[in-house]
Amino acid sequence: MYKEERTNDTIAAVATPPGTGGVAIVRVSGPEAEAVLNRSFRRGGGASGPWESHRLSFGKILRGQEIVDEGMAVLMRAPKSYTREDVAELYCHGGTAVTRMVLEAVLLAGARPAAPGEFTRRAFENGRIDLAQAEAVMRLVGAQGEAQARAARRQLEGAVSHGIVEVRQKLTEMLSQIAACTDFPDEIDEAPAAANLIAQGRALCAQLRAACDPSRARVLETGLDVVLVGRPNVGKSSLLNALLGEERAIVTADAGTTRDAVRGTLEIAGVRVNLTDTAGIRQTGSEAERIGVQRAKEAAERADLVLAVLDASRPLEADDEEILRQARQVRCVVVLNKCDLPRAQGMPQGMAVSARTGEGTDALRALLEETARSAQSGSALLTQARHIDAAQRAAGALEEMVAAIEKGVPLDFAAVDATAALRALGEITGEDAEQSVIDAVFAHFCVGK
Ligand code: GDP
């Protein structure tokens, strides 16, 4: 963990956004936080003496001798605070001038202005969070939608960090196996040890590559895309509605009415599932239908899962065959709808459901759940460019290690590659990050965070 030149002066900044608001917060962190508070805040009711930690007090805010506002203040004693230092917060009226005066009050009382991201940087330097978690703070602050916010929160909770720490532990074990082989060549048989290292190297490499998989990252960010394809009138819209449990798509008995894509969203196993019902895939002369068919093909190409819907009560048509042929090229499940009606001859294998009676829709839901779960399981999932870059370099180093061992290169050379992989991963959590990398991460922060 990065710990050199730990600063321990007392810093202060406005934590709320610039402009006018109901309340503004001025934050102070460092060993002098309580002293700064005592000089800039007069508690009501004549209270004095040491502050009780984590308890809000009402009082007057003083810039020197001048009362600039009245408000609340709290002291959060180390280590139970954002930075793991003593932290004081003053809540004042949220006007631009007032807020500036309150900031001046704490600066006059002994704090110095904080640099961008300095509070979070202290949380990192004091070991409360690692570098990936510090980045998550920024992502959470900047998140535009719920999915992004959720992904950032997971990263803040340590989802990325834990995965990386786990892989680093395995790499450290591999390095000690290599060291054992090279230190005690007479006692350890190198051939099985080498085979073992190759297997472990390959497994870790696959794990890292999977963690960088953009489609898995996208599932977490925006949800699992499930597309229903099929000829007009096989019951796609009805099935979509049955899954959503509401009348989302328009259902009619005329072939080719669902010309545009109809969408609906479900949340299954904590993952957002975006269902899209496309216009029927059919060779057609109608312009609107042709566009719809084109969209269906495109949507199916991008989908995480395609449900190829057939009308099980009617014999397969050429269009059905074409749909099945196309669907086989992607991740696809064949759904035999209208199983409440007598089944036609020559149906392929598939999941029998009835959008009308609801039969089989539970099984279909279970399938979606399984897909959603498998999309988020496995190792840490990386979504930030800096992390993906480091993990790819680590995977590359492991590939070189495996290739070198396979060529029969002495094992101590393999240690060089394994160490490179270990270092690359250490950049993600900050355990092995250059000062410049750390500086770059915090450079994107705003003042007060
Ligand atoms: P789409 O064109 O594939 O979206 O098909 P629709 O959902 O519009 O359904 C076409 C027709 O089939 C409608 O008349 C539905 O009521 C009927 N339908 C849909 N699902 C079923 C089902 O499971 N059983 C039966 N008997 N009819 C169904």
For the segment 432-441, what is each residue's pLDDT rounded down to a tens digit? 888 988 998 8
pLDDT at residue 251, as a whole number? 53
pLDDT at residue 418, as a whole number? 96
Ligand 1 — pocket residues by CB below 6 A?
Answer: 230, 232-238, 251-253, 258, 280, 337-338, 340-341, 354-356
Other C-beta atoms closer than 10 Å to the C-beta of 313 total: 17
Q: Cα of 325 to ligand 1 centre, how many Å?
A: 23
Q: Which one is predicted more confidently, 319 or 60?
A: 60
For the segment 279-324, what is each residue's pLDDT rounded down to a tens digit? 654 455 555 555 545 666 776 777 888 898 999 999 998 888 888 8
pLDDT at residue 315, as a whole number? 94
pTM over 0.75: no
Q: Cα of 317 to ligand 1 centre, how many Å?
A: 17
Ligand 1: atom nearest CA of 256 is 2
- The structure tokens listed for 299 are 């949507």
Across 81-90, 91-100, 157-166, 261-270, least confident range: 261-270
For residue 163, pLDDT beyond 60: yes
Ligand 1: atom nearest CA of 232 is 2
% the chain with pLDDT above 70:
88
Q: Cα of 275 to ligand 1 centre, how many Å?
A: 17
Rounded distance, CA 140 to CA 150, Å?
8
Q: Cα of 352 to ligand 1 centre, how many Å?
A: 14
- Residue 379's pLDDT band, with cuts at 50, 70 and 90, is very low
Task: Cite the DSSP H helix spans in 184-235.
Answer: 190-211, 214-222
Look at the block and give the residue holding tokens 């040890």: 193
% the chain with pLDDT above 90:
53
Which of these, 53, 116, 121, lies nearest to 89 by C-alpha position?
53
| Protein residue with its CA nearest to atom 18 in ligand 1 | 235
Say which residues have a Cβ less than 8 Å from residue 396's Cβ, sequence separation at least 6.
Answer: none
Ligand 1: atom nearest CA of 339 is 23
- The structure tokens listed for 373 are 């779960």
Q: Which one is predicted more confidently, 257 or 98?
A: 98
Q: Cα of 287 to ligand 1 centre, how many Å?
A: 23
Cis peptide before 113 (omega within 30 of 0): no
Q: Which one is predicted more confidently, 249 or 414?
A: 414
| End-to-end alpha carbon distance in the chain | 21
Q: What angle do CA 333, 235, 349 make, to 5 degrees?
A: 35
Q: Which one is predicted more confidently, 154 or 352?
A: 352
- Rounded-to-5 percentages of helix, strand, coil across the chain: 45, 15, 35
The predicted model gives 173-194 an average pLDDT of: 87
DSSP tag of 339: T
Rounded distance, CA 194 to CA 177, Å?
10
Look at the block and give the residue holding tokens 């609340």: 72
For residue 198, pLDDT beyond 50: yes
